[in-house]
């Protein structure tokens, strides 16, 4: 798992910095260059007022077109996680919005309880 700033080149003139990116072993070769020239396995974007429109529409379509198999949108305001799945057809066709537990499509053993995710941290 990698977090910004890590550049991913998604086209000739398009470079993105996802909030979080997961690169599984089958795509590890993309990390050999900076910026990377391939697509990560999972992208996670955390919505904020200044980026939400871009994350919800522009980046979603870009990630689908570049064969990112799984795209998570974390919405701290709504306290939801929306998971888009791309089975290699350059379009996200299944979308799951979770209110309780978010589970990865690619890694079904990986899940997070939203109550834990959105709870304030007190040392």
- The confidence score (pLDDT) of residue 121 equals 63
Per-residue pLDDT tens listing for the chain (123 residues) = 888 788 888 877 888 889 999 999 888 888 887 778 888 999 999 999 888 888 998 899 899 988 899 999 999 989 999 999 987 777 887 788 888 999 998 898 999 999 889 987 655
- Distance between CA atoms of residues 26 and 30, nearest Å: 9
The model's pTM: 0.87
- pLDDT attached to residue 81: 93
Q: Mind listing the pLDDT tens digit for each residue in 80-105?
A: 999 999 877 778 877 888 889 999 98
Mean pLDDT in the chain? 86
Domains of the chain: 2-118 (3.90.1570.10)
The DSSP secondary-structure symbol of 52 reads: H
Q: Does residue 9 contact residue 37 with C-beta atoms inside 8 Å?
A: yes
């Amino acid at each position: 798992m990698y977090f910004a700033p890590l550049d991913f080149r998604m086209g000739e003139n398009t470079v993105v910095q996802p909030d979080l990116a997961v690169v599984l072993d089958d795509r590890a070769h993309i990390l050999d260059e900076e910026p990377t020239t391939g697509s990560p396995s999972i992208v996670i974007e955390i919505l904020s007022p200044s980026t939400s429109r871009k994350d919800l529409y522009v980046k979603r379509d870009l990630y689908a077109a570049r064969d990112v198999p799984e795209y998570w949108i974390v919405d701290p305001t709504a306290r939801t996680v929306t998971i888009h799945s791309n089975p290699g057809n350059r379009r996200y066709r299944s979308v799951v919005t979770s209110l309780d537990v978010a589970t990865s499509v690619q890694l079904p053993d990986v899940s997070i309880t939203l109550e834990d995710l959105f709870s304030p941290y007190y040392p």
